[in-house]
Amino acid sequence: MVDRLANSEANSKRIGVVEGCFGAAGQPLAIPGRVLIGEGVLTKLCRKKPKARQFFLFNDILVYGNIVIQKKKYNKQHIIPLESVTIDTVPDEGDLHNGWLIKTPTKSFAVYAATANEKSEWMNHIGKCVGDLLQKSGKAPTGEHAAVWVPDSEATVCMRCQKVKFTPVSRRHHCRKCGYVVCGPCSEKKHLLPSQSSKPVRVCEYCYVQLTSGGLAPRSDSITRLGSKFNNLSDDDDDDDSSD
């Protein structure tokens, strides 16, 4: 089906519409062999709170952006190569249902669909696209992925020292290795994480020791570690300053 649609006029028009919705600020999406598989609104857990985002699944990339005017205008375009994607289901908890993790070496986050059927369709289509790409390239599935950030709301005190209480003066920071919310003194170090940045990034003291001694630092992948519905299912907020 994908091969049949690749060079069809209908597919070209659909991709053109998506490009138009992102405007001049978006990257060109039309390339030979690319097919728009589907699209829809998903709730993405950002650093501050869950937010609606428009997602577009192509046979080789996943694109999403902020909704300015539904079906007409989007901004802050993000493009994720599917070859690097792994997905894991997220258990229903509280008000959050029908979710799954989208994990890549550079960025990982959780999204939620409106229904269980919609979740199943998204996961099945993403899984098939990833599988087809890996089969064609002969590459192995990605083993490394970025930590999923613990949302700010889940930490009133530093998750490392358990002493510093966060205030407007004592700010929250995120370790890029484990995803924990930590205080300034516990995250003064920086370390190069090539999959995330070409420059050294902020890491907590614990991860810095593990990284420099060759040990393995833990990730924030446990859904129930904090016992809350928003446990570590967030990445940097698309709208807010995510430099910390």
Domains of the chain are: 1-137 (2.30.29.30), 146-219 (3.30.40.10)
What distance lies between CA 21 and its chain's CA centroid?
Answer: 21
Bridge partners (DSSP) listed for residue 173: 182
Does the pLDDT value for residue 97 go beyond 90? yes
pLDDT tens figures, 144-196:
899 988 889 889 999 999 999 999 999 999 999 999 999 999 999 999 999 89
Are the CB atoms for 102 and 108 separated by under 8 Å? Answer: yes
Are the CB atoms for 231 and 225 separated by under 8 Å? Answer: yes
Higher-confidence position of 52 and 45? 52
Please, which contacts does 131-137 make with residues 24 or more away whose CB atoms are closer than 8 Å?
A: 132/2, 132/59, 133/59, 133/60, 133/82, 133/83, 134/83, 137/83
The pLDDT, as a whole number, for residue 71 is 87
pTM for the whole structure: 0.81
238 is written with which tokens? 């698309």
Report the pLDDT averaged over residues 98-125. 96
The pLDDT, as a whole number, for residue 216 is 59
Total count of residues recorded for the chain: 244
Of 228, 221, 191, give the one whose Cα is nearest residue 206: 191
> 182 by DSSP, 3-state: which?
strand
Alpha helices in the chain (DSSP H): 2-5, 9-22, 116-137, 205-213
Q: Kindly give, in sequence order, each residue whose CB lies less than 8 Å from that of residue 1, ignoring residues fewer than 6 positions away.
A: none
Per-residue pLDDT band at 140 (split at 50, 70, 90): confident
